[in-house]
Amino acid sequence: MSAPFRTVAIFGKPRAESVRERLRETLLAIADLVRGAGQAPLFDAITCEVAGIDAAGHTLAELGQRADVAVVLGGDGTMLGIARELAPYGVPLIGINFGRLGFITDIALDQIPTVLAAMLAGRYESDRRGLLDASVRRGAEQVFAACVLNDVVVARGVAGGMVEFSVRVDGVGIYNQRGDGIIVATPTGSTAYALSANGPILHPALPGLVLVPVAPQTLSNRPIALPDSAVVEIEVADVREAAAHFDMQTFSRLAPGDVVHVQRSAAVATLLHPVGYNYFATLRSKLHWNVMPAEGHDR
């Protein structure tokens, strides 16, 4: 058991106007729980604005410097964004699922009074997740840069048609390809878009990456797992519309000859889970591996 946290940053982001009041009530309940434990709650300024909370809001930089832990109320997308921002400060995160799937926001709303209280008191398990540094290079110029926790995706544009690109790993050409795109995913991102594109699941403890083609014209082009020390370069080869997406939250349009450069980041995100957390239990629950066909079901 670790020492209780002293200062708790609180984040929340509603998906729609219809759930805003419920979000506000839940955020205030979390703040009351924190105060009741003798700890200090600090609200993110944007959270105060969107949820209509009458409290002093703080910037992410202020929270990164002052908070011992961050509680994120939202879906996986909200968690991704906050994790990237707070990783340089070393602030660990607790995710409460206010979204849909909840792979990395693994505490249910009805568990807040018991599970969250125990975690803030120091009873939790820690899980370190690697990030990637990505950039778009146009000749000698870097035109875009981002840090990602899930994935970097090079994809065709809205005009349709396949995008043509070449892939290099550690400076060695792997293949030239035409298709809908390609995904470079971390173990965390291996259960996101990469999984939908038939990529493998990488356990979070593995120091690896996965390279997953999306609808490749060459049907024999399969996903491949790489060490996380690998430097991946994806060069756009033709004039078709294409873009690079970073955790599907920011993007950069690509021009012919642009190179998307991806490598391991020095930053690490630390996720905290309830005592007894098990990654395989999460897979069983979220991917329904524990659901058996009904007896007598036609084969």
- Would 299 be classed as within a structural domain? no
Contact criterion met (CB below 8 Å) for 250 and 84: no
**95 lies in the same domain as 162:** no
- Would 169 be classed as within a structural domain? yes
- Would 255 be classed as within a structural domain? yes
**76 lies in the same domain as 44:** yes
**251 lies in the same domain as 278:** no
What CATH number has the domain bearing residue 51? 3.40.50.10330
User: Which long-range contacts (C-beta less than 8 Å, at least 24 apart) are formed by 41-44?
Assistant: 41/8, 41/10, 42/7, 42/8, 42/9, 42/10, 42/66, 42/67, 43/9, 43/10, 44/9, 44/10, 44/11, 44/12
Contact criterion met (CB below 8 Å) for 6 and 39: yes
- Would 294 be classed as within a structural domain? no
**186 lies in the same domain as 118:** no
Q: Using the predicted structure, report yes or no on whether residue 134 has a pLDDT greater than 70.
A: yes
**138 lies in the same domain as 254:** yes
Mean pLDDT score of the chain = 92
- Would 298 be classed as within a structural domain? no
**153 lies in the same domain as 260:** yes
- Would 297 be classed as within a structural domain? no
**73 lies in the same domain as 176:** no
- Would 296 be classed as within a structural domain? no
- Would 1 be classed as within a structural domain? no
* Catalytic machinery residues: 76
**136 lies in the same domain as 102:** no
Residue pLDDT, tens place only, 145-196: 999 999 999 999 777 788 999 999 999 999 999 999 999 999 999 999 999 9
Phi, psi (deg, nearest 5) at residue 110: -75, -5
Q: Using the predicted structure, report yes or no on whether residue 265 has a pLDDT greater than 80.
A: yes
What pLDDT does residue 54 have? 86
**143 lies in the same domain as 260:** yes
What pLDDT does residue 203 have? 97
**231 lies in the same domain as 139:** yes
What CATH number has the domain bearing residue 220? 2.60.200.30
Q: What is the mean pLDDT of residues 276-286?
A: 91
Quote the domain boundaries for residue 112: 7-124+274-286
**30 lies in the same domain as 67:** yes
What pLDDT does residue 13 have? 82
**114 lies in the same domain as 184:** no
Considering its fold, how many domains does the chain have in total? 2
What pLDDT does residue 179 have? 93
Lowest mean pLDDT segment, chosen from 1-5, 90-94, 106-110: 1-5
What pLDDT does residue 51 have? 84
